Structure formats: C-alpha cells, structure tokens
Chains A and B, each alone.
Chain A
C-alpha cells in the first residue's frame, strides 16, 4: 500500500543544510496497523509530511496505492490527499464554525458530492464512532475525545486507502486515548491501513507493528502479528 524507496529530504541550503531523511526504505502492506516512533528530530514529522503528500521529498520514490507520488502539481496533490488519505491530527483541526456533521462531510465537499448526500453519509460515519446524537453540535460543545472521534469519522468518510494519524492521542487523557485507539483498532479490523505517528510507547504498543526512527533512519522494527511479513530494515 505504501512503498518508500530511498527517500531523502533535507531542509535549508549550503552549510546550514539539515539532512533529515537519509534514504528511507519502508513498505507498509494493505491492512497493516503501523506506528512510527521516534524522538524529536528523528525525522518522523518529515516522514509524515511526505506520506501525507503535504511536502515534497528530494530523492527516492514514494508509491501510494501503486501510484508514484512525485513532483505533483498542487491540484493533483490535493486530489490524492482527498482520495487516498484520511488525516487525524493531534489538535483535531475541526472547523469551529461547522457542526459535527458538516466537519465530517468536508472531504466529500471537495469531491463535489451534493450537500444532502454528503450529510447523510457523514451521519452514518458519526454513528460508527458513536456520536450520532451529537451530529448538530459545534466543536466547542464537544469534549476532546469526542472531537477526535469526529475527526476520525472525517478521515474515514472518503474511504481512503490509508489513515494517517499524527499524535492522535497527544491532547487526550489516558482513558480517552485508549478509547480512540480502540476505534482505530476496529477500523483496522475492518481492513483499513492505518499509520500512527506517536512518541507514546503505550499507544505504539496498541498497534501491530512499530517502526522506530532515529536520525533519519529506521533503527528498530517490532512485529507483533505472525501473519505479517517482516518489512525492510534500515538502508
């Protein structure tokens, strides 16, 4: 589903140049539930930006669902983000002036789905995360856990190939974090590929495969399910 080949990325120019990713090779198959760990400066944010088509990479190849994601126009990038990816953010990133349903429906708006239809679909996904009764509430009326569940519903609504979650539990207390991870697990059980970026070990432990980054390299990999193949290790 995801295939990274020798991905390199650096920031800045000349002597100030900071080589963040130094040739990453990672393969993630369909239906995997992967966590990417690493301390600050390990390159995991950069990796997430590249995986999310939010940023460009300097060298290598990135295949998402067998599509080479390289040198895309803004419009094309927007298209792939919309169709292939579902984002879940640390700070939820719900639009404050839209209610739960409208927030969930937003990705379908960019697919030009009619208002009525996308709100109907949004309601189904809200029901899936247990928030049907909160459909017309504004984000300010929801708790942190509820907000993140709305965000997950929003990530799922376009039926993406991969869910990318950036520190999805970073702003939540432990119990709520586990609830959110429970939802991810359920979604994964339904066959969805999920990549979670986190620095919390207990959260990483709830995924099926851990990829640990350090200084722009994969330094460790832990597989917890025998049915999964061993991914590539280091470059």
Chain B
C-alpha cells in the first residue's frame, strides 16, 4: 500500500543529510556496479571464446598419425604410421557412435598454387568429404559444398572461401568459373563465409575444398589419408569414441598398446568443457567479490540507519506517546533502509549496464574478448539481492527504534 506520510518522512530524513545519504547510497551502488561490470566483462571473455568455438561442432575431434616410439611386432620404433582409405572404411563400419568420419588431405608445398586468369595466390587446399562441413561449420554464401556425387564421380570441382574470391575474382561471381590448382583446372561450385570474424575469418576463408577422391587422384596421393576429423552421434561422448578409434587403429597398424604418441588426437568436447569450467570459476569469483562489496555497503547503510535512529530518538518517543505501535516504527525504518539500498543499487545497475552496452558497441569483435554483455536475469537477481540486503540492513536499527521508550517524549533537553 502506498503510504504518502511514510514516504514524506523518508524523503525528509534523507534530504536532511544529503552528503551522508549520498555516501551510503554510493557504498551500495559500488557493490552492484562491481558485480555488473565484472559479470559483463566475464561474459565478454566467454563470448569471445565461444565465438572462436562457433566455427566448430563441439561434439567433434581429430586424430592424426605420428611416428611410433616403442618397438612392437617386429617393427622398430620411429616408423611412420600412415592412414589409408582402408582405415576409413573399417572405422566407419566398426566404430559405434560415429556421426561423420571425414578423412582429409592437405596439398603440400608453398608458393602461389592457385591461378585464375592472370591472378595468382597462395592458399590452403584440402581434399574433403561432404561430412566435413558438419564438423568445421561454414556458411555457404553461393552455390554449394562438396557433395556425394562429387566424391563418387571424382569431379574436378572446388568450393572456395570469401578471401580467395576477393583476391582472385574481386567483384566477379566465382561460381561456374575455372581455377587452376597446381596446374589442374577445377570448376568453382561454391563460395563460403566463416562463422568467425576479423583475422580468424580471413584465415578460415583462405581455403579451397576439393572432393577427397579427386584430390587423391589429381595430386598423386594414392590411397593415403592425412588425418581425420569426426563428429559423434547424440548420446555418445567424444572421448569414448576417440578411445575406440585409437584402440582399433593401434591394433591394425601394429602399434604397441602403450605407444600413446603414435596417434595424435584432439577433442573439442573436452576443450570446450574445460573452458566452460573456467568461466564457471570466473562467475563464482565475480559473485564472491560483488557480494562482499555489497555486504560492506549493506553494513554501511545499517550504520547510517543506526545514527538516524539515534538522532530521531525524541521524535520516535513522541510518536510512541501518540500511539505509534512498534510495528509501525519498524516498518518505517526498514522501508527507509530498503529505499536507500534500492536507489543506490538501481542507479548503479543502470550506469553499469549503460557502460557494458557502450563497451559492447566499441570492443572489436575479433580479439580475445567478445562483446561484454549483461544478462537481464542477472540484473534482476542483483536487484532482488539488494531488496533483501536493504531489509537486513534495516533490521538492527529498526529494532533499536522500536525499543525507544515513549518517556523520551517527556524528557526536556
């Protein structure tokens, strides 16, 4: 219920001591401000990292061959392990939970390897299966990605990145044109954009995808496979599938079971989980710092309210002599306390959110940090916390006020 008299009294007390009120409110505000800024910055960091991950399916991983380090089955250590098309077929058959298994090859050699008309450039050239687009996620801007027909017919087609289009084709439409890769003509059938931004995006789009089968044949790779990318079906853990794959490969390539260095692997799920854990830690720390600061502010408000009660002893005595119940005095003090904390908190919340929003506008979206961000639920939670804090801050002073004797009214100074 809105009680004008109560509010009138609160405003009068507050305005009587402007500096003190300001400092008190500032104490609370600072706590909220810290929480908002820290959480916003943490969220920015998280956005940055998640953006880096956005180009990858997080239920995926890679594995590649290395040299053996332990002699086994008559082989010396230091032998190169080589994957072949046979591995692809067997793994696809034997490993449960594989969603896509994408064998890959990368064109070796440096220098300008790609030509269109009279323009040349040095780009990364990969042989890939259609499934790879489900692991490294790209946005097709024109045309299409490699398809199954490209693979089975060993078509000489290419999907190129935005950066290549910019360098070789400038404003021309690249689809339907031929480019020369190491002297062999490929028909451009698709153009893709990266999901990342800035330099990362440039790197991502300096890439040409060719059909895996065409690649092997055109560049004399025989049946060799450079490395594999894979993703797992829902309900499977990447780490478990990874183990099954490596166990299978170790057996068939005559690698010592304990030779963990012979096959390298990388698991995005684990990395992602580690980083998520890190951010949970940052959040916990932020709330700890914020709540501690807030607590200091609440104690400040409590202190000020105690002084106010002391100053108003006579007035409270008069009110009690006129029939004020302890309850009405308590609610007056607690309301004032909540009001002070809420004002301080709300103003700080608005300023904090404004700063975060401003930063989100100016922070470039390609560095380590992503745009900072404030969760509206977090803001609401912080406000709720304030109301509780304000009430707590008011309890002690209110009890003190309620215990003032009405005899105070009669006492003559």
> Which residues on A are within 8 Å of B, measured CB to CB?
45, 48-49, 52, 54-55, 74-75, 78-79, 81-83, 87, 89-91, 93, 95, 97, 102, 106-107, 109-111, 115, 154, 158, 166, 170
Contact = CB atoms under 8 A, between A and B. Distances in A.
B323 A110 contact: yes
Interface of B: 4-5, 8-9, 12, 314-315, 318-328, 402, 405-407, 409-410, 412-413
A95 B410 contact: no
Contacts of A110: 319, 322-325, 328
Given A91-B412, A97-B12, A54 B325 contact: no
Contacts of A111: 323
Contacts of B328: 110
Nearest to B4: A115
A97 B412 CA distance: 19
Q: Which of A48, A81, A170 neighbours the largest number of chain B CB atoms within 10 Å of its CB?
A: A81
Contact of B326 (A75, A115, A158, A170): A75
Contacts of B314: 93
B102 to A, nearest CB: 77
A78 B323 contact: yes
Given A52-B406, A74-B325, A87-B322, 9 more contacts: A48-B410, A49-B410, A54-B410, A74-B326, A78-B326, A91-B412, A95-B315, A102-B5, A107-B322
A124 B315 CA distance: 25
| 8 closest residue pairs by CB, A with B | A82-B323, A110-B323, A78-B325, A97-B12, A54-B406, A93-B318, A74-B326, A54-B407
A111 B5 CA distance: 13
Nearest to B410: A166
Nearest to A102: B5
Most buried by A among B12, B323, B325, B402: B323
With a 10 A CB-CB cut-off, give which of A97, A102, A158 has the most chain B CB atoms: A97
Contacts of B413: 91
B311 to A, nearest CB: 12
Contacts of A90: 410, 412
Nearest to A92: B318
A115 B5 contact: yes
A41 B326 CA distance: 31
A55 B324 contact: no
A75 B5 contact: no
B324 A78 contact: yes
Contacts of A115: 4-5
Contacts of A48: 410
6 contacts: A52-B406, A52-B410, A74-B326, A81-B323, A93-B321, A97-B12
Contact of B9 (A54, A97, A154): A97
A155 to B, nearest CB: 9
A106 B326 CA distance: 16
A55 B328 CA distance: 20
Contacts of A109: 5
Contacts of B320: 78, 81
A54 B318 CA distance: 11
Given A74-B326, A79-B325, A93 B409 contact: yes
A81 B8 CA distance: 24
B12 A87 contact: no
Contacts of A170: 412
B5 A79 contact: no
A111 B328 CA distance: 11
A106 B322 contact: yes
Most chain B beta carbons < 10 A, residue from A74, A83, A154: A74
Contact of A89 (B323, B402, B405, B409): B409
A87 B5 CA distance: 21
A102 B8 CA distance: 11
Nearest to B322: A107
A115 B3 CA distance: 9
Contacts of A102: 5
B9 A82 contact: no
B318 A95 contact: yes
Contacts of B4: 115
A72 to B, nearest CB: 12
